[in-house]
Amino acid sequence: KKVHCRDGIAPRELEEVGVMSLRGGDVVGEHTVYFFGFGERLELTHRASSRDIFAKGAIEAARWIKGKKPGWYSMFDVLGL
């Protein structure tokens, strides 16, 4: 799979989706997706106050994958979505 990335400063293509990452302090997990329109913005945020929730998901995925044939799986498969 070819992954495109930006290097330096250049104009964004018209249909290109911007991606930004920021980490710092003692934030356990905060993820926000922004959708921008002309004169408006929609934000969807998930905040985790403890790493326990991530550990729970990892354990659930490990139990689910045990005995499965080699292949490509995602958390959608694990959660039945």
pLDDT in the model for residue 9: 72
Which residues in the chain belong to E strands, given as ranges?
29-37, 40-48
Distance CA 9, CA 21 (A): 16
Count of structural domains within the chain: 1
3-state helix, strand, coil in the chain (%, to 5): 25, 20, 55
Q: What average pLDDT does this structure show over 21-43?
A: 87
Residue 65: which domain range?
Answer: 2-79
Secondary structure (3-state) at 44: strand
Q: Is the pLDDT of residue 29 over 90?
A: no
Distance CA 15, CA 72 (A): 29
Q: What average pLDDT does this structure show over 4-9?
A: 65
pLDDT in the model for residue 59: 96
pLDDT in the model for residue 49: 87
If you average pLDDT over every residue of the chain, what do you get? 86
* Paired tokens of 8: 């330096």
